[in-house]
Amino acid sequence: MIESFSVDEIENTLCQVEGIKAARIVAGPDKNIEEIHILASSSKGPKQLSRDIESLLMARYGLPIDHRKISIARINSHDVRINRARPKLVSIGYESLDRNARVRVVLSYKGQEYDGIEEGPNSRVGRLRLVASATLRAVEKIMLQSYSLALEDITAVKLGGQMAVTVLVAMVNSSGEESFVGSSVVKEDESKAIVRAVLSALNRRLGLLIT
């Protein structure tokens, strides 16, 4: 069982193994590891990587793993460079609807554009949340797997004389829920900082969740 450790911690540890570029663990309701998905370079064979993973998990966490639960996808260096691409902000649009507002965020990824739209109260805090949520809707459209993204919290704070935005994002699927924090300094526009903060929160996952 992985009850004493976070999935994020174990995935980060696996990524320290030579040849592993990204790792994703799927845990069941009983907190046991059901699947381990690995994205690896071609520097090691699958059998050697599986043995390395089994040895690491047993030595560091005391977790015995059946090699049949380990799935390894091997890619060349060119593919690794492509998979590290990140969505970029194209535009943020606002539409006032009396007491409500509609926000549309457009992201670009690998030459294609994806938009997210959210509508809600036309207050200052409301607009901040709408920008963050619209960004999450756009990211969901380019994700490889079936995950739901939710904005748990957003706050703007002054640090060292500069304003910064911090967001808490939840990622939910059938195996459970994980939370991630991202932040960005407000440079020229608060809304752009919100989009950057959301993408910052998800950056460690995007290599596995999008193509």
| Architecture of the domain defined by 86-209 | 2-Layer Sandwich (3.30)
The answer to whether residue 81 scores a pLDDT higher than 70 is no
Q: Which residue has the higher pLDDT, 9 or 96?
A: 96
Residue 71 forms beta bridges with which residues? 37
CATH superfamily, with its number, for domain 7-81: Cation efflux protein, cytoplasmic domain (3.30.70.1350)
| Mean of pLDDT values over 6-20 | 84
Q: What would the pLDDT profile of 16-63 be if each residue is shown by its tens digit?
A: 888 888 888 887 777 788 889 888 887 788 889 899 999 999 988 888
The answer to whether residue 85 scores a pLDDT higher than 80 is no
d(CA 21, CA 114): 26
Cβ atoms of residues 202 and 101 within 8 Å: no
Long-range contacts of 6-14 (CB under 8 A, 24+ apart): 7/178, 8/178, 8/204, 10/57, 10/61, 13/56, 13/60, 14/38, 14/53, 14/56
- Provide the mean pLDDT of the chain: 85
- In the chain, ranges of CATH 3.30.70.1350 domains: 7-81
Q: Which two tokens stand for residue 202?
A: 């998800």
Q: Which residue has the higher pLDDT, 144 or 171?
A: 171
What is the DSSP code (8-state) at residue 166? E
Rg (C-alpha) for the chain, rounded Å, is: 19
Q: Which residue has the higher pLDDT, 35 or 104?
A: 104
Q: What would the pLDDT profile of 116-130 be if each residue is shown by its tens digit?
A: 999 999 998 899 999
Residue 95 forms beta bridges with which residues? 102
- pLDDT for the residue numbered 142: 83
Backbone angles phi, psi at 177, to 5 degrees: -135, 140
- In the chain, ranges of CATH 3.30.160.270 domains: 86-209
Q: Where are the alpha helices (DSSP H) in 24-111?
A: 46-61, 77-83
State the pLDDT confidence band at 82, using cuts at 50, 70 and 90: very low
Q: Which two tokens stand for residue 19?
A: 């040849």
Angle, helices 124-141/190-209, rounded to nearest 10 degrees:
30
The answer to whether residue 113 scores a pLDDT higher than 90 is yes
- pLDDT for the residue numbered 80: 47
Question: Which residue matches tokens 């739901």?
Answer: 148
Expressed in angstroms, the distance from the first to the final Cα of the chain is 30
Cβ atoms of residues 142 and 120 within 8 Å: no
State the pLDDT confidence band at 190, using cuts at 50, 70 and 90: very high
The answer to whether residue 76 scores a pLDDT higher than 80 is no
